[in-house]
Chains A and B, each alone.
Chain A
Amino acid sequence: MEPTEDKVATVLVVEDNEGDRFLANHYLTSSGRFEHILHAEDGRVALDLFEQWADPNRENPDHFPPDVVLLDINMPRVDGFEFLKQVQAMGLPPVRVVVLSSSEFNEDIQQARSFPMVKDYLVKPLSGKTVTKMADEVLGSR
């Protein structure tokens, strides 16, 4: 489905914490600004989706590529920074990433922003206002 003027087609939420996934889903849904909300429960699952997209011999995952990825940092198996490193190395068309983390440490913020695909760094908890702002920025970047 094509995005409308004021709606983002797809957002991919990469978050291991069930409570934070619930919050993200609630605010993304209730904002009415996102057509499709995909979830990946950690970096490994998210990487699998991107690898599927990168492989010309396989069909793209449904509603891929996402217009924006909402990415947690501290996750088991593959954390946010490792996810960014690996996706960057795949050489895919640029994907917009917004980091959503509990950490306010400067070194985490600097490290996230060192990746060109990271457009913003948000500190949890997510709110309705932040989600609306995020949707406006995604649409504004087209």
Chain B
Amino acid sequence: MDVLDAMTELVLVKGDRSKLLWANRAFREIYAMSNEDLHHLIDSEHSDPDDTVQYVKDDHHVFTTGNVLDIPSEAITHADGRVSYFHTIKSPLFNAEGKVERTVGVSRPILDPSLVQTSELHREAHKATLGELRSLIQYIPFPVAMLDVKQRFLSHSASWPGLLEYDGGPLSGHFFDDVFDTQLPLAQEIEQAITTATAVHCQALEIQNPSGRRIYCDVTIQPWWIRDGQVGGVVVHVHDVTRLKESEEALKQSYDELSQFNYRVSHDLVAPLRTIRGYLNMCLEQFAENPQLVQDLHRKMVHRVDHLSELVRDVLNLTQMGQDNHSVEAVNLNELVDGIVRLHLDELAANRMEVTATGNELVMYTERVRLQQILENLISNAVKYHDPAEKKRTLNVTWELSDGQARILVEDNGLGVDPSIEKNLFDLFMRGSAQHPGNGLGLYLVQKHVQRLGGDIVLSSPRKNTQFTVRLPQHPARIPTPHQNMDG
């Protein structure tokens, strides 16, 4: 070390990420810093950051190639602000495995005035180019970051921190993966772009932001070049495609539902027709011998046809459910419930069911057709699934308004819901039981209508006293369309 300290040339040893490890006395005097001050810095604060970009690029070259680099002219800023130019030789230092572990640079001052002048002109041009690129990046109206070859931030656009919810202060000088490794692990891709000098594209990367919000982004990593034609670093462009991705997922889900729907509808339309065909065959065989049986079969066929008609009606309702052509209007809930109960009076009487409908006067501003179908389905289910063994069969509909939300309860003491299907109760074609076959569309339709009105529906007490609770906004401010994120 004494020998090195005695030299007038500058001697500088650097490690990984261009971190300063040791400098001789000549260098320390220029920088007015001790080795302890310099240790693990990339450069001092008084240095020109555009010069630092060049140092880092040259260190990177030696580290990655293992070759000696002859730098004809390198600007170094003194602690007092003067700039001098040096001819530098940077050499790799290998470890026992033959890998470059450190670099050592030896710098001799350039004293020839013409060479100094040439160096100044070259440096000014370099700074102008870098300065223009940094400024451009700052003003680009989407998330873009400019990094050097060691993946340190040189500049970024104003929208970069916002997209990634970063509020940790200025990014310049920070290493990319030190700050964003968890959200955007791109170190390998960035390195690939620098090494190959070609752009790297990453599609639909999932990014988990600190708030927990998940976004999807397309990322393009594009190298940028210094005037000497070498790669100076990369520009990282992040394009938020979350809405597109969510639309794709919604579309896929719709497609899957449609496929399942097609399969089930074709079965559910065909099955009763086949049964009717079987009855007709029997009628033909039994016509002369057993007229009573034929009458019986006739009644069964009528029942099958009714069931089939109900299915076709529900399928039509389902296809119309997706349409947004229902207008919002004032709907008096009391009158609506009363009207639906009246429609079912014959059925209710035939099944000896007692109905109560209780609630304060409530006017909702909503789509009448959807609200009507919701309540009709729930009331009709309560009638359909009454318990024949129960002496006192009850159906209660109650409602109240609280914080701008209408809460409607439809409760019965019927057969209840089989626990084995409870969690899939609202699925398409989920039937309650074999004893009382529905077509499995009713509750699916109810849930879809509720969701389209911006509400939710919950089943509680799945055995006796089955209770469906529907919550709907009184006003339509937040009624979502299928592809609208509820969070805005």
Show the binding face of A for B, using Cβ within 8 Å: 16-20, 22-23, 26, 41-42, 44, 74-77, 102-103, 105, 123-128
Contact = CB atoms under 8 A, between A and B. Distances in A.
Nearest to A127: B281
Nearest to B440: A76
A81 to B, nearest CB: 13
A130 to B, nearest CB: 11
A102 B270 contact: yes
B282 A17 contact: no
B275 A124 contact: yes
Contact of A77 (B271, B279, B434): B434
B275 A17 contact: yes
Contacts of B304: 19
B313 interface: no
A23 B282 contact: yes
Given A124-B275, A124-B277, 16 more contacts: A17-B271, A17-B437, A19-B272, A19-B275, A19-B278, A19-B279, A20-B275, A23-B275, A23-B279, A26-B282, A41-B434, A74-B271, A76-B430, A102-B274, A127-B278, A128-B285
B300 A16 contact: no
Question: What is the interface of chain A mostly: helix, strand, loop, or mixed?
Answer: loop
B267 interface: yes
A17 B279 CA distance: 13
B230 to A, nearest CB: 60
Given A124-B275, A125-B274, A77 B437 contact: no
Given A19-B304, A77-B421, A126 B271 contact: no
Contact of A76 (B277, B281, B421): B421
Nearest to B270: A102
A78 B281 CA distance: 30
From B420, B421, B434, residue with most partner A Cβ within 10 Å: B434
Contacts of A23: 275, 278-279, 282
A125 B267 contact: no
B418 interface: yes
A77 B275 contact: no
19 contacts: A17-B271, A19-B272, A20-B278, A26-B282, A44-B420, A74-B271, A76-B431, A76-B432, A76-B433, A77-B420, A102-B267, A102-B270, A102-B274, A123-B274, A124-B271, A125-B274, A125-B277, A125-B278, A127-B281
A119 B41 CA distance: 79
Given A41-B435, A75-B434, A103 B275 contact: no
Contacts of B434: 16, 41-42, 75-77
B300 A22 contact: yes
B437 A126 contact: no
Contacts of A77: 418, 420-421, 433-434
Nearest to A75: B434
Contacts, number: 62
Nearest to A20: B275
Contacts of A41: 434-435
A96 to B, nearest CB: 23
A4 to B, nearest CB: 25
Nearest to B293: A26
Interface centre among B270, B275, B418, B421 (most CB of A within 10 A): B275
Interface string B386-424: 000000000000000000000000000000001011000
A20 B437 CA distance: 13
Nearest to B272: A19
B278 A124 contact: yes
Interface string B187-226: 0000000000000000000000000000000000000000
Most interface-central of B304, B421, B431 (chain A CB within 10 A): B431
Contacts of A125: 274-275, 277-278, 281
Contacts of A17: 271, 275, 437
A18 B300 CA distance: 10
Nearest to B435: A41
Contacts of B263: 105
A44 B279 CA distance: 27
Contacts of A75: 434
List the 10 closest pairs (A to B, CB-CB), nearest first: A125-B278, A16-B434, A102-B271, A124-B274, A76-B431, A19-B275, A23-B278, A42-B434, A41-B434, A102-B274
Contacts of B271: 17, 74, 102, 124
A126 B267 CA distance: 17
Contacts of A105: 263
A46 to B, nearest CB: 11
A110 to B, nearest CB: 15
Nearest to A77: B420
B274 A16 contact: no
A60 to B, nearest CB: 24
A72 to B, nearest CB: 9
